A and B are shown apart, each in its own frame.
Chain A
């Protein structure tokens, strides 16, 4: 139990996917203008990450032991097609849910955070439960970073900033400061 909690908190805060591993920067910088959009994108990412963890576990246990060189290709193909399939199912069953999350699904499928999750949990040798917890932590961590960033960007829109620094340069510097703040979590578990 303690082990699982450690995996969760580590993925959520200490090794945050965006702020410590630089994964998923494209949506982090691209879709963080509005707080609400950022939140929904985050939830869609949590969802895709859970599917990814399932797919990665299945591939690792049943297929890749026979053909390890197919790892990368099979991860991409299987994850992308599973997400596509689930997208179609959601569209059929619940149009409301599709409207809330659907448009983001294709956007995040080929995201490096998703592929990174599959590769990291394989490298760490996680089983099914550990993999799912890891995915949950990583996805919520991504959402947290995205929502924080969106809030900061909404505030900074009205601030008197020189024109030259506006845009990606300023967002990266804000992200740097956020990342510095998150480094404070590094000591969270070493004391106990």
Chain B
């Protein structure tokens, strides 16, 4: 692969997996736990965040030369809030049922620290292309995390996934999973799982190094 293409690929994978905004950086939890009680809601929320993040990264990266340093944070917030308003009204017009279910949490995307963080840390100091790729990666990572949370909670809490029944009628749903405590518990356990994966990988690398050192 040519170098620039490889860079872009690295940026994308970084957001999706290595620096996943939810599981590794633990950012943007506020508007997330409340709406992940089903996979469908998680998809809608993830999609809305996806659009807002990519669009505002594109804007911030293309306008970076004209944004004065002293008021940059306020400028980012206003750009983000504009796109959130657009998303809010669009969802209300196209899918009123979903919009009603997500309720006040769509406007709260503004307060997602992950989005503002990307503008400050990446989009404001990189080319438009890289900024968009980075935003695509981070947004996919966020969508993936939301979907994982939403699916786990829906499968255990209702015995269904995207509205399809998964188990026999004897399955007793764990109602607690779709209630607020389920959100905390599921995210806590998923974080634990990712910590374990990371730890295991580190141990493997260490052992490999020791083995190589022994060989020489």
Contacts and interface: CB of A to CB of B under 8 A. Distances in A.
Interface of A: 19-26, 29, 69, 71-73, 76-77, 80, 110-113, 115-116, 119-120, 123, 164-165, 167-173, 175-177, 179-180, 183
Contact of B77 (A29, A76, A168): A76
Secondary structure of the A side of the interface? helix
Secondary structure of the B side of the interface? helix
A23 B33 CA distance: 9
Nearest to A179: B181
17 contacts: A26-B30, A29-B26, A69-B85, A73-B81, A112-B30, A112-B108, A113-B30, A164-B192, A164-B196, A164-B199, A168-B188, A169-B195, A172-B188, A176-B183, A176-B188, A179-B180, A183-B180
B45 to A, nearest CB: 12
B185 interface: yes
Contacts of A169: 188-189, 191-192, 195
Given A19-B180, A72-B107, A183-B180, A176 B191 contact: no
B111 A120 contact: no
Interface string B172-216: 000010011111110111011001100100000000000000000
B134 to A, nearest CB: 22
B181 A110 contact: no
B180 A25 contact: no
On chain B, which size bracket covers the interface?
35 or more
A41 B26 CA distance: 21
Interface string B137-153: 00000000000000000
A173 B33 contact: no
B167 interface: no
Contacts of B176: 180
Contacts of A175: 184, 188
Given A19-B180, A76-B81, A172-B185, A25 B29 contact: yes
B160 to A, nearest CB: 22
Given A73-B78, A170-B188, A183-B179, A26 B33 contact: no
Given A170-B188, A183-B181, A22 B34 contact: yes
A115 B110 contact: yes
Given A123-B104, A168-B191, A22 B111 contact: no
Interface in B87-114: 88-89, 103-104, 107-108, 110-113
Interface in B61-78: 74, 77-78
B34 A69 contact: no
A72 B85 contact: yes
B115 to A, nearest CB: 12
Contacts of A111: 111
Contact of B104 (A76, A116, A167, A172): A116
Interface centre among A123, A167, A168, A176 (most CB of B within 10 A): A176
Given A22-B180, A169-B188, A172-B185, A72 B33 contact: no
A180 B188 CA distance: 14
Nearest to A113: B30
A167 B192 CA distance: 10
B82 interface: yes
Contact of B29 (A22, A113, A167, A177): A22
A72 B84 contact: yes
Given A116-B108, A164-B195, A172-B185, 8 more contacts: A19-B180, A23-B108, A26-B30, A72-B110, A77-B78, A112-B108, A164-B192, A183-B179
